[in-house]
Structure 1
Amino acid sequence: MNTPGIDHKWLANSVMVQMSTMMVYFWKYVGYFTIIFIVGLASIPQSIYEAAKIDGANDWKNFWYITLPLLKPTTILVSIISMLQCLRTFSTQYLFTQGGAPLAPINVITLNIYYTAIRDHRIGRASAMSIILFVIMLLFTWVQFKSSRADEISY
């Protein structure tokens, strides 16, 4: 077959492996995060928009001064979830490397922990790496929660 794209080895090129990994995770989480943002938008009371309309605010000002600030807790939640998902990602990179993809462009912490434990037979070192990863995730989550509490918005 001489059809363009059919004979291309997607997992042999390091740039394509990175792009494929990004597309998989985008496709995997975009629906989940969209639903969270829709719920966040639905939780904003319409009375605030009505009051802003009476005060003469246009759609642009409604977005910048009402919608965006009131979506801050939702944005913080999505950023925490996405950060935690990025730190604990494993399956896609593992499957790509088993399919012949180069390891270097998609090597992540959890894949490194797996290879340390299983391939190199250093279980103690892998356990220590896992505990350090847990502490890092806990620290990032704590910092994001603390930074989000500084500007709490109530209505």
Structure 2
Amino acid sequence: NSSSFCYDSRFIQSNLLLSQLDKTNFLGVSGPIQFGENQTDRISGSYYSIKNVQSSVYGLNYVSVLEYADPGNFRVPLQENTIVWPGNTLTPPTGRASLKGVTLRIGIIQSVPYTIVQKTTDSNGQTRPEYIGFIPDLVERLKTDIGFNPILQLAL
């Protein structure tokens, strides 16, 4: 067929392409990528690299400090890197950061039953949204337990 429209053509070498794909593997952003016959999902598990952001004369460096590969294998990278903690120190912080009194803007999406948006009218006649559901309840519980001031913002 001499048509230039691709849907009018037949791909004769499909078996060669599939054979090459079956031999292909590489390390992608989320882990090893490998193709296989009759496979529609990732053949091997997920891969994550936890990185420490460090300042340098060239800008920011992202230094790998811990890796995770399915199934449940944490490991230190082959080249062990030093973690630089906040305050440009090599000493890990003790305790934990406190959110007491801190205002947090929390983005939420409307998704029943997690977040339900209802219009309410206050005593001044102003209409405003009221958020109910699992997520607003969780935020309220965390507010009570931790002491932060939440501002819920509905993503559009």
TM-score for the superposition, normalised by structure 1: 0.24
Is the strand fraction higher in 1 or 2? 2
Larger radius of gyration between Structure 1 and Structure 2: 2
Q: Tell which has more relative contact order, 1 or 2 (C-alpha 8 A, sep 6+).
A: 1
TM-score for the superposition, normalised by structure 2: 0.24
